[in-house]
Amino acid sequence: MHRFLSRFVFIAALLALPGLLILPPAIAAANGVAVVQAVEQSAGYCAGKNAAEAFECAKKQCVAGGAAKQDCVEMSYCYSGWTVDVFMQSKEGPHWHEYFCGWRDRQTALAAGKLACNPDRMEQLIECMPVQLIDTAGRVTEIVGDEQQ
């Protein structure tokens, strides 16, 4: 019986997953968002009608934050949906950010960020938490308190 229920839950989850990823028409038609990062210096997040426009804008933000233009690396371009920024720090000391995008709303993006900090990843990390959400217009919201857990 336990094996049957496990399979049932797994299949139900697989069938539900596409529903979580399907974006409403208003979001699907929105601009994409570029993410640029200069490690240990600055970052930029900007919406644009195409990747080139969005990256150029994000690089300007990165430079305005104190980094040299050549240090501002293009991390990702998300064509639609929300993006979550996840902070990770290795047990050896270095830290970085990973970006997961294409989520239909704030709550789904936040859930994806928390899922990125799964037990398998945590074996190599001393810290992992979602720290920012970026909406379809490129607006950044800090994640604080209980939402990070």
- Cross-strand partners of 43: 37
CA distances to 41, 42, 103, 136, 139 from 64, rounded to whole Å, are: 11, 8, 28, 22, 17
- In this structure, of 38-42, 45-49, 145-149, the range with the lowest mean pLDDT score is 145-149
pLDDT higher than threshold 70 for residue 16: no
Give the pLDDT score at 2: 44
**Predicted local confidence at residue 30, as pLDDT:** 52
Determine if the pTM surpasses 0.85: no
CA 10 to chain centre: 25
| Percentage of the chain lying above the pLDDT 90 cut | 62
Phi first, then psi: what are they for 27, rounded to 5°?
-75, -40
Residue 89's pLDDT band, with cuts at 50, 70 and 90, is very high
